[in-house]
């Protein structure tokens, strides 16, 4: 499955009912499924293909939740906690205490933490968005460095203002002329593809606006990281 220099590669497994496991590995990995007489192999392969597509989009900075079905084995309490993980918005974090409170179990912080730690679908169920009481990064099954990389990726994507969508899938970013030089330098440094276009492309009438066009499939995370590089802070 898809990989990332800061994260490594992802290994996923599925049955006809949906994903059963997602984990990080250190090299290109297999994607497994279980077959049965009713054509389960084809269904499992379809789930894995959808997850791979959504994972690649996520690594490019997509903010949409994963929609691939899951078939999870766990206690009723674990299932409840794992369901709550789906509701944590992209680019945000909650503490274990806040998660427990959201489930109506404010005294069950340790039990909630244990269930989070047994999350079988890393990334797809975003347990990396759960942090310690003082917002510090705590244990993560794939390592705290990966947890930090996932949160940094989401923060970078969140720093990109809404792009103007073009029919061909490209996106337009408007800047002030004063911002242009630093942003262009940062984008080039990070290897981000773009073109400079006239302000009329974004429906602007005058030269007081600079416009960059990013091709279809653009990487919001890299664009956001470049904007942070250029401005020194999140936009």
- Scanning 1-143, the segments in alpha helix (DSSP H) are 40-59, 76-85, 96-102, 109-117
166: its two tokens? 């073009």
Neighbours of 47 (CB within 10 A): 24
| 53-79 residues labelled b (16+ CB within 10 A) or e (exposed) | ebbebbbbbbeeebebebbbeeeeebe
Say whether 127 is catalytic: yes
CB 101 within 8 A of CB 86: no
Q: Give all strands (DSSP E) within the chain, no chain letters.
A: 3-4, 8-15, 18-25, 31-33, 94-95, 130-131, 164-165, 171-175, 195-197, 210-214
Q: Which of 48, 55, 88, 127 is catalytic?
A: 127
Residue 208, classified by CB atoms within 10 Å of its CB into exposed (0-12), middle (13-18) or buried (19+), is exposed
CB 46 within 8 A of CB 68: no
SS3 182: helix
Active site residues: 127
């Amino acid at each position: 499955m898809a990989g990332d220099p800061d994260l490594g590669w992802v290994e996923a497994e599925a049955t006809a009912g949906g994903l059963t496991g997602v984990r990080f590995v250190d090299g290109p990995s297999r994607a497994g499924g279980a077959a049965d007489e009713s054509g389960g192999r084809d269904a499992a392969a379809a789930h894995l293909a959808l997850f791979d597509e959504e994972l690649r989009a996520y690594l490019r900075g997509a903010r949409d939740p994963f929609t691939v079905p899951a078939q999870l084995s766990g206690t009723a309490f674990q299932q409840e906690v794992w369901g709550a993980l789906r509701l944590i918005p992209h680019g945000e974090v909650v503490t274990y205490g806040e998660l427990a409170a959201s489930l109506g179990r404010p005294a069950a912080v340790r039990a909630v933490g244990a269930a989070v730690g047994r999350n079988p679908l890393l990334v797809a169920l975003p347990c990396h968005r759960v942090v310690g009481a003082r917002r510090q990064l705590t244990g993560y099954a794939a390592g705290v460095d990966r947890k930090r990389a996932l949160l940094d990726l989401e923060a970078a994507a969140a720093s990109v203002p809404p792009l103007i969508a073009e029919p061909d899938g490209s996106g337009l970013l408007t800047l002030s002329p004063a911002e242009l030089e630093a942003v262009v330098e940062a984008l080039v440094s990070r290897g981000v593809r773009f073109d400079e276009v006239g302000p009329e492309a974004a429906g602007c009438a005058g030269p007081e606006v600079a416009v960059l066009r990013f091709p279809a499939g653009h990487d919001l995370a890299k664009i956001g990281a470049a904007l942070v590089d250029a401005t020194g802070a999140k936009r």
